[in-house]
Amino acid sequence: MSFLRTSGGFMSNRETADFYDAEMLAVYWQTKPDIIKRLLPPPLKPAEMPIIFAFVADYPRTNFGSIYKEAAVFLSCEYEGIEGGYCLAMPVTDDMALVAGREVFGYPKKLANIHFRKEKRDVEGWSERHGTRYFEVKAKLNGRPNSPEFIQLVAERTGGTPGGSKDIIQVCYNYKHFPSPDGNYFDYKPRLIREEVVFRPSELKLGSAQLILQSSESDPWGELEIEEILGAIYLKGTNSMLKGYVVAELEHEKFIPYSFLKWDIKI
């Protein structure tokens, strides 16, 4: 073992970052269109429906050595006609998963306490930092989501009905950026990264959800107002993160208001 290695990087010796026997509970809700419009950095644009989705997940085995839990929240958006999710926050329980997600893909990760539990048809999860449980979801996998529209939404994303074997592809958008050491702007123009995650579920179940969002000084999830909860989806199977790539850059000054997702800023 040495400080010197021959590897070219985190993704250089693997085509994908894989998560085996992963369990995930995701909840979808509609919010006010102005909220998504205000929080999306250019050139991302709001998707047709003002939908936010969040998840909590348990990753018991990976091909990069980390075992951890994770949560996240995404704004539905599009870039050049390709719909995806812009990640506003991604708490995790493992430091190496945090570093890899931040430095490779630009995910706005922070360390947090995360809970995930499934018992028969009941699934629950939460994330908390600095004494505030800012995201809590409970779902009953009864096949009856909060809104009938959710069944159509899931069918469009999975290509069929729950329980089907079709892979699910989620497009993720993140801005990769690092502050410059002199304190003026960034090391380089902030780069918009497009990256895809492939879900290969062995189990896929729908249900109704209860959702609680709260805000702290550092984690303002309560800002993501709930107009209507659409429903919850539970997935178990193998997930793969594909290699990402740069699709756009943004001028330093224009990105500054959006650049604090990874930091606890005391105001």
| Averaged pLDDT of the chain | 93
Q: Which residue has the tokens 């419009």?
A: 37
pLDDT digit string, tens, across residues 9-61 = 665 667 899 999 999 999 999 999 999 999 999 999 999 999 999 999 999 99
Residue 87 counted as domain residue:
yes
| CA 144/CA 31 separation, integer angstroms | 21
pLDDT at residue 11, as a whole number = 59
pLDDT at residue 230, as a whole number = 98
- pTM reported for the whole predicted model: 0.94
pLDDT category, 159, cuts 50, 70, 90?
low
pLDDT at residue 9, as a whole number = 63
Residue 245 counted as domain residue:
yes
pLDDT digit string, tens, across residues 192-217 = 999 999 999 999 999 999 999 999 99
CA neighbor of 74 nearest in space, from 27, 143, 137, 120:
27
Which stretches within 52-148 are classed as H helix?
95-100
Number of Cβ atoms within 10 Å of the Cβ of 113: 14
Residue 40 counted as domain residue:
yes
Residue 186 counted as domain residue:
yes
Residue 4 counted as domain residue:
no
Q: How many domains does the chain contain in total?
A: 1
Its domain, for residue 162, covers: 16-258
Number of Cβ atoms within 10 Å of the Cβ of 257: 10
Residue 91 counted as domain residue:
yes
Number of Cβ atoms within 10 Å of the Cβ of 1: 3
For the domain that residue 143 is a member of, what is the CATH number? 2.40.400.10
More confident residue, 6 or 19: 19
pLDDT digit string, tens, across residues 120-153 = 999 999 999 999 999 999 999 999 999 998 988 8
Q: How far apart are the two ends of the chain, measured CA to CA in Å?
A: 43
Average pLDDT over residues 74-93: 97
